[in-house]
Amino acid sequence: MEPDTSRMGQYRAVSAALSEGEYEVGVSVEGFSELETKARASFAVEPRKGPELAHLNSDEELLKSIAVASNGAFLREEDAGRLAGLLKPLSAGRTVITETRLAESYWWFVPVILLLTLEWVVRKRIGLI
C-alpha cells in the first residue's frame, strides 16, 4: 500500500486482474493484532453480464437507422466540420423575454388573490388560524 497523496491519512493499493470468486482484503499493522485493527472488507468478482464490452467497434448501420428514425444525421469523425452547419438552424432563433408584474395584471392577480383567500378560509374552518 502507498499513501494517497490527494487525501491525507488514506492509502491506496492496486491488484492484478482477479478471476471470478469471493475475496477478502485486510490490513495488518505492526504492533496491533487483527482483532484491534478490524480493517477487513469482502467483495466478489462476477462474470461480465451481457455483450456490452464484447464489441467495441461502432455499428454504423444501427447508428444510421437511429439517425433516420429521429430525423437526425449520421456523421463520421472526419465529418465533424459539418456539425456546426447542421446545428446552425437550431440556434438561429430569437429569445424574447417579457416581464409581467402580477399585481398589475388582472388575469394573474385575481386568481392568486382567490387562492390565498380560499387557503385562509380553509385554515380558519379547521382551526389553524
Q: Is 52 among the domain residues? A: no
Least confident of 14-18, 42-46, 99-103, 106-110: 99-103
Same domain for 7 and 40, yes or no, is yes
Count: domains in the chain: 2
SS (H, E, C) the chain: CEECCCCCCCEECCCCCCCCEEEEEECCCCCCCHHHHCCEEEEEECCCCCCCCCCCCCCHHHHHHHHHHCCCCCCCHHHHHHHHHHHHHHHCCCCCCCCCCHHHCHHHHHHHHHHHHHHHHHHHHHCCC
Q: Is 124 among the domain residues? A: no
The mean pLDDT of the chain is: 86
* pLDDT for residue 32: 84
Q: Is 24 among the domain residues? A: yes
pLDDT digits (tens, 9 = 90+) for 81-116: 999 888 888 887 788 898 877 777 888 888 989 999
* pLDDT for residue 125: 94
* pLDDT for residue 100: 77
* pLDDT for residue 114: 94
Domain that holds residue 87: 60-91
pTM of the full structure: 0.34
Same domain for 6 and 41, yes or no, is yes
Q: Is 77 among the domain residues? A: yes
Same domain for 41 and 65, yes or no, is no
